[in-house]
Amino acid sequence: MISVHEATALIQQHTPTPQSAARDLSKAAGLVLARDYNASEDSPRFTNSAMDGFAVRFADIKFTDIQFADIQFADIQADTRLRITDESSAGTEAQSALASGAAIRISTGALVPSGADTVVPVEDCSVGGDTVNIGKFPKQGQFVRKQASEYAAGTPILRKSETLTPARIALAAQHGLARVDVFTPPPVALLSTGNELVNVDETPIGTQIRNANVPMLTAAIRQAGANLVFTAHAQDSFEHVRAALDKATAMADVVVTTGGASVGEHDFIKQAAQALGFETIFWRVRQKPGKPMFFAKRTVEGRTTLLFGLPGNPVSTLMTFLYYVQPTLTRMMGKSAIERSAQATLSADLANMHGRAEFVRVRLEKGDEDPLPIAVPLPKQDSNMLTSMTEADGFVFLDVDAEVQAGSGVRVILFS
């Protein structure tokens, strides 16, 4: 039996490198870029207006005869009448350059015509026929977006290992990147075992129970961003488990099983995996919950498949998935496996005298005077009690022989 730290290191050591492929931009949201991209053109591509109004020559604007004491520049009034000679709208530029003593009507995003250096917004103007009166003195160059003022062509704009958020997708689209190179989500197979399990839409008879682990892990795998390609349930026999595991392995880079990984007479995951050529990396971890966790690897013709044999109790299943499997899937998608955590003040003493590290589920409450939240350990921590997950905000990792007193600061690893 190995420690949590050893198990984590071994999983990272045997995790294959992310695989990349070109994807349509419309199907790449949430994926991670596998290469850098530089700007194909300036931004803005041409000098344009930031407002609806009039493009003018600053030198043509005259201010009224006023005293400048105790007045803000923005309040200075102008009194200039200019001839409207043309229009520049988005997608249609003016047909002529701006002459002295003239103004060109302009729309937001439209090309600033040659000869103009300032845009006066429409709300600072009044129009009569083909004449515009400038009523407020502008700042020279205002509301003019100069070409390449954001960045020039060739500037790095999208970088390897960045997630394609909506904003980055828009940036890619601006530069005509209809397809992008991304790290692809690994295909995952999910296999449950147990004669006692029935589907969620069935009524248990006698000692049967509903199979909650499959919908739970299905949601967890999809929430992690992986691609669930196969789901099956196997009865407690070596033949059934081996056949189901064989199908799962043929389709997936990561196989997640629940149940059948312990030492009982009906636990066949480890035995079936070894029969299919999997190398056992470790079996059983000094942790609570989740001691009978199994991790194995198989490489055939250059293709590596990882196998996570998770325990059958639902809390053990979910805790080991969140602590070990989810970070692995994250790394295989080219992302950094960063835990979301919060500092908190512990509400009660914790002491670990069980010889195994513990994942102590806690609820976070607002403190009356303490600026940090209060971490309250849930009273029911058994591995079959799902409410220890649904009522918790996260968990405190308590290593072997660790003792933490009430009032101490602790790090809470958050569930979401």
- The CATH architecture of the domain made up of 4-19+185-332 is 3-Layer(aba) Sandwich (3.40)
pLDDT, position 68 = 47
Determine the 3-state secondary structure of 286 from DSSP: coil
pLDDT, position 63 = 72
341-414: CATH topology:
Beta-clip (2.40.340)
pLDDT, position 271 = 94
Per-residue pLDDT of 232-265, as tens digits, reads 999 999 999 999 999 999 999 999 999 988 777 7
pLDDT, position 370 = 81
Query: What are the tokens at 112?
Result: 């600033």
Residue 101's DSSP bridge partners are none
What is the CATH code of the structural domain delimited by 48-145?
A: 2.170.190.11
What is the sign of the dihedral through the CA atoms of 211, 215, 221 and 224? negative
pTM for the whole thing? 0.86
How far out from the chain centre does Cα 327 lie?
A: 13
**Apex CA 40: angle with CA 35 and CA 42, to 5°?**
130
Torsions phi, psi for 325 (to 5 deg)? -75, -45
CA pair distance 64, 97, nearest whole angstrom? 28
CA pair distance 288, 316, nearest whole angstrom? 8
Torsions phi, psi for 104 (to 5 deg)? -120, 125
All residue ranges of the chain with pLDDT < 50 are 66-71, 73
List the chain domain ranges.
Answer: 4-19+185-332, 23-40+156-183, 48-145, 341-414
pLDDT, position 170 = 98
Residues across the chain: 416
How far are the Cα atoms of 57, 115, 136 from residue 69, in angstroms, in the given order?
Answer: 27, 33, 17
From 3.30.460.10, 3.50.50.60, 3.30.390.50, 3.90.105.10, which CATH number describes the 23-40+156-183 domain? Answer: 3.90.105.10
Topology match between the domains 48-145 and 341-414: no
Query: What are the tokens at 396?
Result: 């405190």
pLDDT, position 250 = 96
Judged on CB neighbours under 10 Å (0-12, 13-18, 19+), 328 is: buried
pLDDT, position 369 = 81
pLDDT, position 311 = 94
